[in-house]
Chain A
Amino acid sequence: DTAVSQTPKYLVTQMGNDKSIKCEQNLGHDTMYWYKQDSKKFLKIMFSYNNKELIINETVPNRFSPKSPDKAHLNLHINSLELGDSAVYFCASSSAQETQYFGPGTRLLVL
Chain B
Amino acid sequence: DAKTTQPNSMESNEEEPVHLPCNHSTISGTDYIHWYRQLPSQGPEYVIHGLTSNVNNRMASLAIAEDRKSSTLILHRATLRDAAVYYCILRVNMYSGGGADGLTFGKGTHLIIQP
| A43 and B94 form a contact (CB under 8 A) | no
| B100 and A97 form a contact (CB under 8 A) | yes
Q: Which residues A29-70 have CB closer than 8 A to chain B?
A: 30-31, 33, 35, 41-46, 48, 50, 55-56, 58
Q: In the docked arrangement, what's the CA distance between A15 and B104, Å? A: 29
Q: Which residues A61-111 have CB closer than 8 A to chain B?
A: 90, 92, 94, 96-105
Q: Which of B15-23, B40-48, B73-81 contacts A (4 or more CB under 8 A)?
A: B40-48
CB-CB under 8 A from A103, the residues of chain B are 43
Q: Among the interface residues A43, A56, A94, A99, which one has the most CB atoms of the partner chain B within 10 A?
A: A43
What is the interface size of chain A, counting residues whose CB is below 8 A from a CB of the partner?
29
Main secondary structure on B side of the interface with A? loop
Band of interface residues on B: 20 to 34
CB-CB under 8 A from B44, the residues of chain A are 43, 90, 92, 100, 102
Tell me, yes or no, whether B103 is within 8 Å of chain A by CB. Answer: yes
CB-CB under 8 A from B92, the residues of chain A are 97
Q: Which chain B residue has the least Cβ–Cβ distance from A100?
A: B103
Q: Which chain A residue has the least Cβ–Cβ distance from B47?
A: A99
**Cβ of B31 to closest chain A Cβ, rounded Å:** 11
Q: A45-B104, A56-B101, A99-B49 are in contact. List 13 more A-B contacts (CB 8 A).
A: A43-B38, A43-B44, A43-B87, A43-B103, A45-B101, A48-B102, A90-B43, A94-B100, A96-B100, A97-B92, A97-B98, A100-B44, A101-B45
Interface residues of B (CB under 8 A from A): 36, 38, 41-46, 49, 85, 87, 91-94, 98-105, 107
Enumerate the 5 nearest inter-chain pairs by beta-carbon distance, A residue then B residue, closest first.
A45-B102, A102-B43, A97-B94, A43-B105, A31-B100
